[in-house]
Amino acid sequence: MKTTVLLFDFFGTLVEYVSDRNLIEYLSSHSFLLENLSAEGAAFYGRGDIGYEEYCNAWSNAFLAFESERNEGREFLMRDVARRCCDLLGIALTDPSNDNMTDQLVGAYMADWSKSVRLMTGAHGLLTRLSKHYRLGLISNTHHAETVYRLLETFGLRSLFEVVILSAEWGYPKPHVSIFDATLKRMSISAGDAVYIGNSFDADYRGGQNIGMPCYLVGRHARVPRDRQLRNIQDLAIYFDTSA
C-alpha cells in the first residue's frame, strides 16, 4: 500500500536537546520561586533560604520518584513533579487550590530547560517539502504539552502537522499502542498507510511495529535493519519524495 502519511517523533528526531536535565541551568525558575516565597502576600510559604543547588536537586529527585512510580505505564505531568519538588523543599502554596501558580513555576522551569532545544539542521525545509506530498503528524512523549506546542510555533512547524498527539494529553507514552492507534483513528487511516520516524528503539521502533506500522530511526541501532536507519533527519529524502 502506498504511504500517504508520515508520522514523526519530536525530541531527538526533529529537535536536539540536552537529555540530562542536571546539565542545564535553572537560574530563572529558581529566582521565580524565591521571589514568590515567604513575603507578605506571597504565593508560597515555608523556608526562604533555598539555595540553587538544593533547588536543582529537589527537581531531579522529584523526577526520579515519578519515573520509578509509573502507574501502569501512564504518563506523569510536570504539575505533579513541581508539587513533589515543593514537598521535598519543605514549601507549599499559600492557597493549595492555586494551580495557576504551580503552572507558573512549571512554566519558568520549562523555559529554562527548553533553552537547550535546537531544531535539527535542515528539518524545517525537509518537512515543508514533504508536506507537499504527504500528510504529516506528530506523536511525542512529553510531561508538558505546552512546551511542545510553544517550540513547534517557535520553529515554524505547527502548521505543517495535521495532527499532534502528546503523551501528556493522551495519558500514555510511547510505546503504548493506544497513542499510535489514537493518531491513526484521528487521521482516518490504517497502519499500512503510514510510516513512523523516530530515534528510540523501544519507544518508536517497537511502538510502530506493535501496531503494524513501519519505522525509520535516526541514528545507529544494532537491532534495526540498515535500510531503516537514518544518519540524520535529512536522510529521509532518500526514501520519500521531496521534489518541489
Are β-strands 163-166 and 118-119 bridged in parallel, bridged antiparallel, or unpaired? unpaired
- Percent of the chain residues past pLDDT 90, beyond the cut: 82
Q: What is the pLDDT of residue 96?
A: 78
- Residue 225 confidence (pLDDT): 92
Q: Look up residue 75 and give its DSSP letter.
A: P
Domains of the chain (ranges; CATH) run 5-17+117-238 (3.40.50.1000), 21-116 (no CATH)
Over residues 165-214, the pLDDT tens digits come to 999 999 999 999 999 999 999 999 999 999 999 999 999 999 999 999 99
**Segment 132-160, tens digit of pLDDT:** 999 999 999 999 999 999 999 999 999 99
3-state secondary structure 93-129: ECCCCCHHHHHHHHHHHHHHHHHHCEECCCHHHHHHH
**144 near 106, Cβ under 8 Å?**
yes
How far apart CA 72 and CA 50 sit, in angstroms, is: 34
Those residues whose C-beta lies under 8 Å from the C-beta of residue 146, and which sit 6 or more positions away, are 107, 110
**Of residues 127, 39, 37, 53, the one with CA closest to residue 90:** 37
